[in-house]
Structure 1
Amino acid sequence: MTLSIETPALLFSATSLILLAYTNRFLTIAQIIRSLKKSYDEEESKLILLEIKNLNLRLTLIRYMQLFGVMCLFLSVFAMLLLFLGHQLTGIYLFGLSLLCLLISLGLSFWEISISVKALRLHLSDLNDKY
């Protein structure tokens, strides 16, 4: 079995865009948490505390999404280096490992999005009777 050096390079643009999207999600949630923390300091509401807890879980998931995304990119580059140096079998295994990291990252992303959708539906549940 052989793998060309160009194959791992295909992940570069996709992984870079995914990491950018993860970073944007992280920054948005961090801003919301800061705002909710300020609101909680003014009015100790249990609802605000639950929202912060939910967002904290999402931040943790995003951190792991980013970790596995970076590992995907790192392993792809390392696989390319090994392929360049003629270590075909090791390069193939590392590329497979990079694909596994990408799958884990995307799975965590789906989990984080699911949590976000549930939270939004709960937040909007009082409007269901009005429309």
Structure 2
Amino acid sequence: MTLEIQTPALLFSATSLILLAYTNRFLTIAQIVRGLKKTYDQEHSKDIFLQIKNLNLRLSLIRYMQLFGVLCLFLSVFAMLVLFLNFQVVGIYLFAGSLLCLLISLGLSFWEISISVTALRLHLKDLMEK
């Protein structure tokens, strides 16, 4: 089996867009946490504390999503370099590693989104009961 140098390059645009989306999610949640922290300092509400705790978990997941996304990009570039130097087997393994990192990143993204949806449903629960 041979791998062309263009194949790992296909991940660049997709990975770049994913990293941009992850960064936007991170910045939005960080802004919400800052606002909730101010409110919590004034009210010491248990509900607000639980929301901050939930958002903190989501921030951690996003950090790992970004880590594996960057690792995917790094391994893709490294695979291209190795393929350029005509080391097919190593290039194939590096590319496979980059795909694995992308899968992990997307899996963590799904987990983070499911936490977000669960939190929103809890937040809207009283409204739905009416």
After TM superposition, the score normalised by the length of structure 2 is 0.99
Structure 2 residues without counterparts, runs of 5 or longer: none
Equivalent positions of 1:35-54 (< 5 A) are 35-54=35-54
Q: 1:3 aligns to what SS in structure 2? A: coil
In the TM superposition, residue 85 of structure 1 has moved relative to its aligned partner by: 0.4
Match of 1:23 in 2: 23
Counterpart amino acid of residue 55 in structure 1: L
Q: 1:29 aligns to what SS in structure 2? A: helix
Match of 1:64 in 2: 64
After TM superposition, the score normalised by the length of structure 1 is 0.99
In the TM superposition, residue 95 of structure 1 has moved relative to its aligned partner by: 0.1
Count of aligned residue pairs for this structure pair: 130
Match of 1:3 in 2: 3
Equivalent positions of 1:1-131 (< 5 A) are 1-130=1-130
Counterpart amino acid of residue 109 in structure 1: S
Q: Distance in 2 between matches of 1:44 and 1:99?
A: 44
Q: Distance in 2 between matches of 1:21 and 1:32?
A: 17
In the TM superposition, residue 129 of structure 1 has moved relative to its aligned partner by: 2.2
In the TM superposition, residue 72 of structure 1 has moved relative to its aligned partner by: 0.1
In the TM superposition, residue 96 of structure 1 has moved relative to its aligned partner by: 0.1
RMSD: 0.4
In the TM superposition, residue 125 of structure 1 has moved relative to its aligned partner by: 0.2
Counterpart amino acid of residue 51 in structure 1: Q
